[in-house]
A = this chain, B = another copy of it.
Amino acid sequence: MSILIRGAEDFLSSARTLETPLTPDPEAFLKEREAASTFHTEEVPLGSLTNWHLGDRISHSSGRFFAIEGLSVRTNFGPTPQWYQPIIVQPEIGILGILVKRIHGVHHFLMQAKMEPGNSALVQYCATVQATPSNYQRVHGGRSTPYLDYFLDPGPRVVVFDQLLSEHSSWYLYKRNRNMIVEVPEHEEVPAADDFTWLTLGQLRGLLAQGNRVNMNARTVLSAIAYATPNPSAGVAREPDGFHGEIVRSHRSGASDDALASAMTWLIDQKAGFSLDVKRIDLPRMAGWICDEQGIRHHEGRHFRIVGLSVGATSREVGTWAQPMLQPNPGNVVCFVCRRHQGTLMFLVQAMAQPGATDRVELAATVQSTLGSYRGPRDLPPLAEVLDCDRSWVVVDAVQSEDGGRFRHADTRHLVVRIPDDQVIEAPANYRWMSLGLLNRLLRLGYYVNVEARSLMACLL
């Protein structure tokens, strides 16, 4: 039934708890790895960064990594028809890959405990491989990337998932990474290197519920996992009950070819209805922004700042370095509203234009908002009132970090609100109810579901 997921029909089994798990205490493993290294991060003037040039754009002396440029944006999406902003330009396509292997009959995911300088909780679980060509071709002379060849050259192993997916289209211009899941056969030995450990999906779910334990790059890869129809011969008998059972059933619903075609037609209508015109400009030409040696900031202190960060660490590819970071104002929130409709849990998504989106519009969560940027009620997005709903409706509430390699202290509250079956919601025409099965199928086709919504979907696994 799915185009790209192969051999994934019993990922569900990995949600079971083993009696003797390989990693008995994933939290303790994180703490231990954090204690094994010393980290120090400090904000420094943007003009003081070695090898970074600050001029019409901010770029690295090697010409690699990323640059920060100005962007002029015009759109009919949202309340603001025209603005300027800094944006990160990173044309390289990185690999975000997770190795999966069935151990004692249960799928395990090879996760790395990794420090990222921007994260509030510095060490988190990331994908098996998280690397741009600049990293793994060792432009800055770092160490080699473990497990890279499993993804660059999978050989006879099963490529469960392989797709380009967008990232943070409000902060990155046309950024996409290659999201991969590769399954190694049970009989193949894959030793876990330092900082690496095998976790079940059940353990990952526990970490996701805690918040700030599974990094953004791991979440986007995990979001591609589908709970497909169980294979009767595999003997995965017990169906989960409660809310998780409803999630699994929503994954198995509504993903017919007709439903997909109908959703795509609706999304094309949205793309045709929203205009978006972006133009890369020199940083000093951004009206409303102050650019100097200290950094880049909005003249009213809104949105985000571009700052310099000095990092001292022993467990990353390079011991110490300094780089620009994007630091958003606090208050980011992403929220799905869900409701049961004819027995299936449906999620309210919106077609959202974002300046850096490769194809203008992608599906976003019900509410995706930078509350710290808003000036007043006029700026509040539609349906923001659900953020103040009855606490008993909240089924997911955890703070997750954005990519800590580019964003500093970018903590986003992840909410899923389940409203009563008879509760009426009046949503604008660019909103639509979808099952998780349909959303997952769209996600796997490429630039259809934005990273903020995918991150939330990972929290629902």
Contacts and interface: CB of A to CB of B under 8 A. Distances in A.
A258 interface: yes
A93 B3 contact: no
A268 B178 contact: yes
A276 interface: yes
Interface of A: 2-4, 6, 91-93, 133, 159, 162-164, 178, 257-258, 260-261, 264-265, 268, 271-272, 275-277, 279-280, 358-359, 445-447
Contact of A4 (B178, B264, B279): B264
Nearest to A267: B164
Contact of A265 (B2, B159, B264, B280): B159
Contacts of A6: 257-258, 261
A162 B265 contact: yes
B261 A4 contact: yes
Nearest to A152: B269
Given A159-B265, A359-B447, A445-B445, 17 more contacts: A3-B260, A4-B264, A6-B257, A91-B276, A91-B277, A93-B271, A133-B272, A162-B264, A162-B265, A163-B268, A164-B268, A164-B271, A178-B272, A280-B280, A358-B358, A358-B359, A359-B359
The 10 closest A-B CB pairs, nearest first, are: A93-B272, A162-B265, A279-B280, A4-B261, A3-B257, A91-B277, A178-B268, A358-B359, A164-B268, A91-B275
Contacts of A272: 93, 133, 178
A164 B280 CA distance: 25
Q: Determine how many copies of this chain the complex contains.
A: 2
B159 A261 contact: yes
A215 B265 CA distance: 25
Most B CB within 10 A of own CB, among A159, A268, A275: A268
Contacts of A91: 275-277
A8 to B, nearest CB: 12
Contacts of A4: 257, 261, 264
